[in-house]
Structure 1
């Protein structure tokens, strides 16, 4: 701190700034005139303030003025619907008692209607309105009654399963032939980085997906044998037969069955099991994504979604070119750190498994040998066609983008395709600690509760090295200098350097906690030190997410309405509900939470504090290129840049760095993230935008013009040019085109999906950091300290060369959000003295 009272970094104020002498002299000279003027201003301000307070009081306690802007009206609609929203789990629970799964017995209704029995599917518990806006007679929603299934026999079931196995064998033969011919995605290409370094798939997921693929094909065979409609296939084929004795339900080929749950376990499991004692696999790793809305597959089982008229939807790249143009609009309030934190959270709760070939290799879909020989085309290929006149790719003579479908989740029943989430659903630091005991063990030092790390020559702590030369990240040039990519609990940690920095900061935070706890409690063994440090880290990640990030996305008013805001001052919550399924919704993972991709800036800012130099790098140059973190000062330079640079606004516009150059490396072109997102939604059977609106209680449009109140005018005009029907709009595109709700970042449809998920992650987590349930509850004194957690302090403590940061780093520096020295007492500190045991 300079002697004058100002810091050496412009805009950063000390706790006691130097008095302004010139201003004081001016005030003395004109004090009479200034005093009179101030009196007038004061009267006007008081009158205005009183008016505002009255209007705010009405806004808080009563309905919003009908003349409010559409964004406010949409928020009123969302606040009027019941939460959480009904999902597939609700539908199954409602009707499972009334459905048999016995071969040779297609009779379904096995209950005596009794309105006083809450398990009766016609009881008020199940039939009360949920404020969805499906038209009268619409049955493609969870409020429907199951269809009457035709008679089936055990022969129908066994024959369908047999045919499904044969199709899986044929797929395996195709994989073997591709392997024999050495046909795979070229090493070092953008598609290779995407599938090997970013979308890594665990061998367990690959094995599970083989059962999933067989069951999907068997479901298609059963659909044809029984002449089932698309709707019946999607909703009710699950009630055909009892497949428990079949190989498709062989537990030895699925994720390991969770050990018997211990209700009194103090620490959460690493794989997410036993969080819910009644349903131990809810939220666990390597389980299927939850369905918030009924899936929309072209054939009711697994084929990509079709247009309303039954034809093909517009190509994903065509939509990208017309609607998601290469233009950037900056957010006025939020920093690039907002995008990075959102990605860190996303990687903590979602990692979709990808279909793989023999020995886990990537599947080629665009190679000329494959495209010219139908026998070599893998059934999981869904390549993205590029228009001949594509404004970017045509110059490179490209006509196809690699795209392979997500791995199908296994299931013990007929019905629609689902996808596998390799992460735990809970916000539990799995991006840092992994999702299995084996993976966690590989990251631990097993000494003093520490995580493994590597030290630079100047004593800086970095993540442990990944020395696999074929991991899609390491390069020969850096490898020979012993500079490696990094290992973390999530395989995507190296995807872009801003994300790698967050992984490093939290690994450092864990080790800082372990060292302090060891000092406070010298008799604690390694396991106790590790688990208590992990427990605190998870609590701090949860607090920052719900105190600083989610309010920015949903707006503080919606947060309060849903009860999502942290309590503060050591107050516990008592709203855990074991009936809330915490699993990540497919619509959340494949569409809504991808809104952050529109926030990505094409140029990434760095600031050198001593020289105050500002430098920019193209995003594509820092993707899978974390090696500069070995250099002194680099981390602080990027953090300064992140908190000083505006993030992109949430809209339909994207930088060309991700809509054509994603993962390009040294090549001139890469992938198009927008096209991938649209295609991934169709791959997952995600319902269209209009169906999502109705699910959320928003008015269903009958034509494009009906969306004018909720959508940006320019985006809507572009959407009209590419889609034939309003019902064809993809959820990803439609959601981004909406105007944000009041004080939020996203429009009402995405806000609905995100709110439902974040509500479930809080109220469906038995280990939520504010719980009062023992033994997992923190003491009141400990919780009081955890409520003092802030992202600013976490960053300052773990990037010591940073020097300063704004109080709320997800927001830009401005009045009310000053940039402060890291030594400032205005950035609260967590006192770990509350964890000291024994006599002082």
Structure 2
């Protein structure tokens, strides 16, 4: 029965009136569902192509990434190697980490969490070249799906290899055709739903959702860990295939393994704060109140205006104008591959773990960032969620520093499972943009209605540093060659924002499509009653933390940096939703309002 309802809801079968008699033990007397033909039913669906806002630029016009063919010139210059860009521009003379005076580390980690809710571009499943079967980990030649990141002669790796491995993104089998998708061009896939819908909790597919459920219980709740708990609160369950690839506590016995966690998104173990946020929302779901509408509200109300600035938010989004069935909500290639990766330069090199007084924890010291990669054992063995949560709430995010853009923890010590050497996140971002055929920085400025940067003086005005512009020009040769991720990253932030004008534009346009192209958006009339919408707005990430951890004092806005104790409140003073707004006094009924 539920499979039938799921099929009807999510494939939009055009039945104008459906009445089904349900089994009385479900406490449902009937379901009346009205369906209409849906325009573009694949928009925003999982396992479809990322949207193209500008045509892709491939060296053979169909498939070959920028930089694939040695000697190919752009505006009279060869594109620089991505490792050369990383070495020359991402790391400057200063090693100082600037601290954000306004925002906490939680702002950064929420950005990663919500990014994983709306986009995931899978890499090729093949580890060897298609034509000759060479291992991509041991070749420095371009041969699909290998697109290795060559190392400049003066920057040889400690392994004496001349490249770092890179696997191309899988091509999309299902493309939502638009005018920006010339026939035959390679497109990349988004394997999760584009909507802000808590797919990180429940998964982007029916099959995955079933594996995440506790099927031994009639309550239908998500499965939790059966081996360990966090002071009585559940952890995420472990993956079914064991032993897993996650790191283990040094010196621990094989019988004491802590396996990788499993969740609605496979990237849950990448870094400890991400595992913590996943766990919070699974715990919240046990109360029957966790869904995508909360993440919609927290993201659009509390997060997005801070990163792009209130002025830009009002310009690109403005007040909610209702659902528009002509708006394609699919995540765009440039957003997923460039613009929303701005946060990589705001990640602190240290993860702070704090005690109840928001001071350094006596037992569980703060960690270097690389110590938090794929290490769920640190949650299970070292104090659970609470010390990490306090660190996210009580310590500042890193502020972008043009003299040292990315921490060495990410540039030289990034860990990816099943790759034996550490990687360079800056180089990966640049290579991924070229793999996807993203047009350059100037083309995207034109797309957003901004003037192109034609000269060094134009770049100085946008970047603010003549020294940095000289480095850019020395490496790229011409402004048209600048990769969009780097160019957008280097722009001076707009007023009250953490992004420059280009990324504010691209993020703003994407968020508008996600909001107005979603017919289940929480503000859309018919989805909730006015009273329910009013109650939903009282909910907050701080309330979720209070309800699902041992943290007892929080800032009312968890993204804004405050001083302890003056800017923190006891959890009893954090507003809660009144669920009476959802009570049905007649009986337990389910309504699907699909206006």
Aligned runs of 1:190-209 on 2, under 5 Å? none
Alpha-carbon displacement from aligned partner over 1:172-198 (angstroms, at most 9, x marks no partner): xxxxxxxxxxxxxxxxxxxxxxxxxxx
Alpha-carbon displacement from aligned partner over 1:72-128 (angstroms, at most 9, x marks no partner): xxxxxxxxxxxxxxxxxxxxxxxxxxxxxxxxxxxxxxxxxxxxxxxxxxxxxxxxx
Shift of 1:561: 3.3
Aligned runs of 1:511-526 on 2, under 5 Å? 511-512=286-287, 514=288
Aligned runs of 1:255-270 on 2, under 5 Å? 258=11, 260=13
Alpha-carbon displacement from aligned partner over 1:460-513 (angstroms, at most 9, x marks no partner): 21111114236432659575215222110100001101000000000111112x
Match of 2:145 in 1: 380
5+ long unaligned stretches in structure 2: 1-9, 19-34, 68-72, 176-181, 588-595
**In the alignment, does 2:86 pair up with 1:320?**
yes
In structure 2, C-alpha distance between the alignment counterparts of 1:593 and 1:579, rounded to whole Å: 24
Match of 2:24 in 1: none
Q: Secondary structure at the match of 2:352?
A: strand
Equivalent position to 1:279, from 40, 45, 53: 40
Whether the 8 Å CA contact 1:735–1:747 is kept in 2: the answer is yes
Match of 1:623 in 2: 373
In structure 2, C-alpha distance between the alignment counterparts of 1:414 and 1:667, rounded to whole Å: 35
Match of 2:457 in 1: 705
**In the alignment, does 2:304 pair up with 1:541?**
no
Q: Secondary structure at the match of 1:539?
A: helix
In structure 2, C-alpha distance between the alignment counterparts of 1:315 and 1:581, rounded to whole Å: 35
Shift of 1:400: 1.1
Cα 1:586–1:363 change in 2 (3 A) is farther
Alpha-carbon displacement from aligned partner over 1:536-579 (angstroms, at most 9, x marks no partner): x21111000011100101112222334456xxxxxxx5521111
**In the alignment, does 2:51 pair up with 1:290?**
yes
Shift of 1:719: 1.0
Whether the 8 Å CA contact 1:623–1:665 is kept in 2: the answer is no
Shift of 1:715: 3.1
**In the alignment, does 2:359 pair up with 1:588?**
no
**In the alignment, does 2:66 pair up with 1:305?**
yes
Alpha-carbon displacement from aligned partner over 1:40-64 (angstroms, at most 9, x marks no partner): xxxxxxxxxxxxxxxxxxxxxxxxx
Cα 1:478–1:322 change in 2 (3 A) is farther
**In the alignment, does 2:557 pair up with 1:808?**
yes
Shift of 1:689: 0.4
Alpha-carbon displacement from aligned partner over 1:688-733 (angstroms, at most 9, x marks no partner): 0011111111111221221222213143232122111111100011
Moved more, 309-318 or 595-604: 309-318
Whether the 8 Å CA contact 2:236–2:263 is kept in 1: the answer is yes
Match of 1:349 in 2: 118
Aligned runs of 1:497-508 on 2, under 5 Å? 497-508=272-283
Q: Secondary structure at the match of 1:407?
A: coil
In structure 2, C-alpha distance between the alignment counterparts of 1:275 and 1:298, rounded to whole Å: 43
In structure 2, C-alpha distance between the alignment counterparts of 1:792 and 1:617, rounded to whole Å: 24
Alpha-carbon displacement from aligned partner over 1:437-477 (angstroms, at most 9, x marks no partner): 11111111243241111253542211111142364326595
Equivalent position to 1:460, from 233, 237, 256: 233
In structure 1, C-alpha distance between the alignment counterparts of 2:323 and 2:254, rounded to whole Å: 49
Match of 1:820 in 2: 569
Cα 1:603–1:261 change in 2 (3 A) is farther
Aligned runs of 1:103-502 on 2, under 5 Å? 258=11, 260=13, 277-305=38-66, 307-309=73-75, 312-325=78-91, 327=95, 328-357=97-126, 364-367=135-138, 370-371=139-140, 378-390=143-155, 394-410=157-173, 414-446=183-215, 447-454=218-225, 456=228, 458-469=231-242, 471-473=244-246, 475=248, 477=252, 480-502=255-277
In structure 1, C-alpha distance between the alignment counterparts of 2:151 and 2:430, rounded to whole Å: 14
Cα 1:580–1:689 change in 2 (3 A) is same
Moved more, 657-666 or 759-768: 657-666
Shift of 1:293: 1.6
Shift of 1:603: 1.1
Whether the 8 Å CA contact 1:596–1:650 is kept in 2: the answer is no
Cα 1:366–1:301 change in 2 (3 A) is same
Cα 1:424–1:382 change in 2 (3 A) is same
Whether the 8 Å CA contact 1:485–1:494 is kept in 2: the answer is yes
The RMSD of aligned alpha carbons is 3.0
**In the alignment, does 2:487 pair up with 1:721?**
no
**In the alignment, does 2:407 pair up with 1:660?**
no
**In the alignment, does 2:418 pair up with 1:671?**
no
Match of 1:695 in 2: 447
Shift of 1:381: 1.1
Match of 1:245 in 2: none
Q: Secondary structure at the match of 2:367?
A: strand
Cα 1:831–1:705 change in 2 (3 A) is same
Match of 2:547 in 1: 797
In structure 1, C-alpha distance between the alignment counterparts of 2:321 and 2:494, rounded to whole Å: 29
Shift of 1:646: 1.4
In structure 1, C-alpha distance between the alignment counterparts of 2:170 and 2:281, rounded to whole Å: 30
Moved more, 292-301 or 786-795: 292-301
In structure 1, C-alpha distance between the alignment counterparts of 2:485 and 2:396, rounded to whole Å: 23
In structure 2, C-alpha distance between the alignment counterparts of 1:472 and 1:343, rounded to whole Å: 22
Cα 1:668–1:471 change in 2 (3 A) is closer
In structure 2, C-alpha distance between the alignment counterparts of 1:428 and 1:797, rounded to whole Å: 21
Whether the 8 Å CA contact 1:364–1:402 is kept in 2: the answer is no
Shift of 1:411: 5.9
Shift of 1:394: 3.5
Shift of 1:414: 3.5
Alpha-carbon displacement from aligned partner over 1:361-391 (angstroms, at most 9, x marks no partner): 9983241xx45xx7xx74221100112322x
Cα 1:661–1:692 change in 2 (3 A) is same
Cα 1:296–1:658 change in 2 (3 A) is same
Cα 1:632–1:700 change in 2 (3 A) is closer
In structure 1, C-alpha distance between the alignment counterparts of 2:321 and 2:75, rounded to whole Å: 49
Shift of 1:335: 1.1
In structure 1, C-alpha distance between the alignment counterparts of 2:171 and 2:374, rounded to whole Å: 28
TM-score (norm 2): 0.83
Cα 1:666–1:727 change in 2 (3 A) is closer
TM-score (norm 1): 0.60
In structure 1, C-alpha distance between the alignment counterparts of 2:358 and 2:117, rounded to whole Å: 36
Match of 1:557 in 2: 311
Q: Secondary structure at the match of 2:577?
A: coil
Whether the 8 Å CA contact 2:237–2:261 is kept in 1: the answer is yes
In structure 2, C-alpha distance between the alignment counterparts of 1:312 and 1:700, rounded to whole Å: 20
Aligned runs of 1:54-73 on 2, under 5 Å? none
Equivalent position to 1:837, from 560, 566, 584: 584
In structure 2, C-alpha distance between the alignment counterparts of 1:752 and 1:381, rounded to whole Å: 33
In structure 2, C-alpha distance between the alignment counterparts of 1:286 and 1:785, rounded to whole Å: 34
In structure 1, C-alpha distance between the alignment counterparts of 2:36 and 2:90, rounded to whole Å: 40
Whether the 8 Å CA contact 1:580–1:764 is kept in 2: the answer is yes
Match of 1:89 in 2: none
Which structure carries more helix by proportion? 1
Whether the 8 Å CA contact 1:285–1:435 is kept in 2: the answer is yes
In structure 1, C-alpha distance between the alignment counterparts of 2:398 and 2:37, rounded to whole Å: 38
Match of 2:25 in 1: none
**In the alignment, does 2:413 pair up with 1:648?**
no
